[in-house]
Amino acid sequence: MFKALALFACVAYANTNADDTTGIFGDAEQWKTGFVTVDKFEDDIFYWMFESRSEPSTDPLVLWLTGGPGCASEVALFYENGPYQFNEDSTLKSNPYSWNQVSNLLYVDQPIGTGFSKGGLHDARSETEVAEDMAQMLRGFVEQNPEFAGRDFYITGESYAGHYVPAISHYLAFTATDVNLNLKGIAIGNGLTDPYEQYPAYAKFSYENGLISKKWDDVMIGGMKACQGLIYESQHQESKKLDVAALEFCQILADSVIGNPLHPKFNVYDIREPCDTPPLCYDFSQSDAFLNREDVQTTLGVTGRKWVECDTLVHTYLLGDWMTNLMPQVAEILDQTQIEVLVYSGDKDWICNWRGGEAWTAATKWSSKQEFNDAEYEKWSVNGTDAGEMRQYGNLHFLRIYEAGHMVPMDQPENALEMVKRFIANDWSLTEEQPSLDIIQ
């Protein structure tokens, strides 16, 4: 069946920066956009690739996936780790800390229905379908861009990409081995990967940060035991109805910390800030207006496609996937491959907090579980300043990043870029005494 599906992996068309006749994007970046058709229904997945500012012919390919589920990767492109940022008048300026300082950077809108990726008859409802679609997309991408065949490859993402990244990387490592990319590492930022381990962390994190009283902490701890029971039942009976029931119960309990989710007491993505524009808490209106402009869409080759930052239908389709545990896939990657696994967490995020990341990495059932848990946290510094702390053993690394919320590259752009630099080099001994990056202003 997989080989039959592969016949439909083809690129519909591609645009490049040479098509920017209006100068909207300037001439500093070399980029390409395109669509890859991924199934017999001719649904397509949109990509936007930026060449490395350093050594595009040899630097690795880094894939970025935004979570949601259903949120477009252009959100990260313009507000986190991409080459462009908005001026107040919605013109573009260069981001000196873009991850294409050290890599060829690939943004993909997925699952189908997200961002500029449109489809009608096929919509992913599980991580298996997400992984199958992305394998076809990457196969088509390499066919269109043969210079990347065999290139070192890294899969990164945040939030619900804590599901996507393990599912896709596991599928590439063990099933779709014909995709001609050399998968070297995966990175999950403030992600949801193992709900059973992560939901109880809401109580611990909330109490430690003064968001709830000791009395309510005790109540939540008891409630989270019931939550874990529902998650366990849903995972072992493989019932989408039970998945949704567990999600509803556990989320109501977690939301007791913030009050009304539509008008939370604080920004759930950064507890230091108020939530001025609920429910996302951030104002992404510039990207919405910009990406729906006719001249921008013509330049990108996406004419007539309505772009929204987060698609509610895609989100709804994957509600039954929410409680899926992706930790076993991570464990197999750790034990059966040489792929590096980085889990990083901004420590001011509530929604996918660092205590949850700490809990699921500690619980991961792999051959070096005990050695990893026995490892002490070590300070992680950037430019002589403590920027976080890391626990690591073998090919598993857990990094707590100080003074960052859910979107680490937005809150700590320099530190996030340094993290990616060290991740690609697979050398966490790098210190501020090492040569610094040449930053393009």
Written as six digits, the tokens of 251 are: 């989320």
Decide if 407 contacts 79 (C-beta within 8 A). Answer: yes
From 52, 73, 117, 159, the catalytic residue: 159
Q: Which residue has the tokens 């910390």?
A: 257
DSSP for 50-63 reads E--SS-TTTSPEEE
Our answer to whether residue 397 is catalytic in this structure is no
CA atoms of 306 and 262, how far apart (whole Å): 25
Type of residue at 199: Y
Our answer to whether residue 367 is catalytic in this structure is no
Contacts of 342 (CB under 8 A, 6+ apart): 185, 186, 187, 188, 397, 399, 419, 423
> Which residues in 127-144 are b (16+ Cβ under 10 Å) and which e?
bebbbbbbbbbbbbbbeb
CA atoms of 97 and 441, how far apart (whole Å): 9
Q: Which residue has the tokens 């869409």?
A: 297
Dihedral over alpha carbons 195, 198, 200, 204 (to 10 degrees):
-170
Please state, in angstroms and as integers, the Cα–Cα distance from residue 352 to each residue in 194, 230, 318, 343, following that order: 11, 19, 18, 12
Among 307, 309, 299, 291, CA closest to 116: 307
Written as six digits, the tokens of 399 are: 């990094």
Our answer to whether residue 406 is catalytic in this structure is yes
From 39, 321, 347, 349, the catalytic residue: 349
Decide if 437 contacts 384 (C-beta within 8 A). Answer: no
Residue 376 DSSP symbol: P
- CA 18 and chain centroid, separation: 29
Give the gyration radius of the chain's Cα atoms: 21
Give, for 157, the enclosing helix (H) or strand (E): strand 152-158
Binning the chain into helix, strand and coil, the percentages to the nearest 5 are: 40, 20, 45
CA atoms of 33 and 299, how far apart (whole Å): 9
CA atoms of 289 and 291, how far apart (whole Å): 6
Helices (H), 301-434: 312-317, 327-336, 354-363, 369-374, 408-411, 413-425
Positions marked active-site? 159, 349, 406
